Structure 1
Amino acid sequence: MPLRVLILGGTTEASLLCRALAGDGRFAPTLSLAGRTNVPALPPIDCRIGGYGGARGLAAYLRERGVHALIDAVHPYAARMSHNAVAAAASAGVPLLALRRPAWTPVEGDKWTIVADLAAASRALGALPRRVFLTVGRQELGPFRDAPWHRYVVRSVDLPASTDLPPDSVAIAARGPFDVAAEGALLAAHAIDVIVTKNAGGEAVRAKLDAARALGIAVIMTERPVKPPAETVATADAARRWLIARHCALRGA
């Protein structure tokens, strides 16, 4: 019997895990996406797009589909979904593994200011006009509309609605991974003074931080929200090994 796996995704690690499981007869994986991206990059497995109606709805889905294992591989800032996953897995009696990539940490040469949230990031830009590279997602630009004296270059996977953008801004639609040379060229072309970003971690979009260090550009970094306690691994390969152990346990049951 294949192990029925639900992967709550939206990260590079989730995609890597899905590709690792695709075609492996030991597993019947389904990738679940929230639907925040207009054209998501879908791996070659079954996919489900949309919410569940909270922890109770997710628990009902786990029971109805006979899911054997739940993988929480959502974005580091999707704290509510992670809390729902823990509650739903406990309610449905389904083993849960959190796939959480480590946060970025500053190294010598970095000029970081760490703040609690995006409202604090907007305030940290200060009263004098600055040229800001903003990579916080297209749905969380509100705090920066309250600081219209800055000039913004806004990058996200999908273009924001024009009404969501700060008044003086340029929008760029792009999907990582990015390389350091291209990021440095982008920062230089727009004469960026400061980067505002979330501490997403991982390798796909960290090149902007390496480029900022090389160019002496400041970074305003928001702290991660607190995630609930759970058995945790940092890589897709470690998650795959955990699932193999679950499959062996199921086969021996």
Structure 2
Amino acid sequence: MIDIVVLTGAGLSAESGLRTFRDSGGLWEDHAVEDVATPAAFRRNPDLVHRFYNERRRQARSAQPNAAHRALARLSRQPGVLVVTQNVDDLLDRAGAQGVIHMHGALNRGICAACGNRFAVTGDLATADPCPACGAAALRPDIVWFGEMPQQMELIMGALQTARTFAAIGTSGQVYPAAGFVEIANGSGADCVEINLDPHRSSPLFHRHIAGPATTTVPAWVDEVIGPAASGDR
């Protein structure tokens, strides 16, 4: 049974140098969402979409996990903990987090639109690249675009209904269905905590708000939940 569900957003990786979507320097600023993050955009201009995600993949590879990622990795190794991320980077995984659900997909994976094969991606993807399974030139980033269903929603929804604690970390609370997770968890009796740089627009469904940079607030919260880490585990 899941006791703790953690939802993370772009604010978790901001201190690792990855730009967030909804601040003034957000990643979408130079590209309209309709041009790079919808199935229609990919049908219209797959070369542009591949270039966009190839650049994001390179940026993510150059970034390093920060103290918040490492703290959540330590938490994830406890029984009854589920970590769900809206982020498409792999910084939680590289920090050692276990069982992370990438509900919006992952930059380091591709998927074949022809046969459904998912595969690891370490470099760039191009429109003409063949699928490693079926050979079709139908590859796309394994990213959940606007208008598509996030991944592993049945598992997430079940966990939210049994969790005793729900924590939302570094997320704007504006993108559904993730923005509705607190309502489900709160309605199921969970203690709901928001950890964010600026929680002034947060939902009143959270019982507690912790404001500040993720690299300081998240390790402190994890220490509170499961006890301080050993000196070599930070």
Q: TM-score, normalised by structure 2?
A: 0.38
Choose 1 or 2 for highest CA Rg: 1
**Normalized per residue, which structure has more strand?**
1
Q: TM-score, normalised by structure 1?
A: 0.36
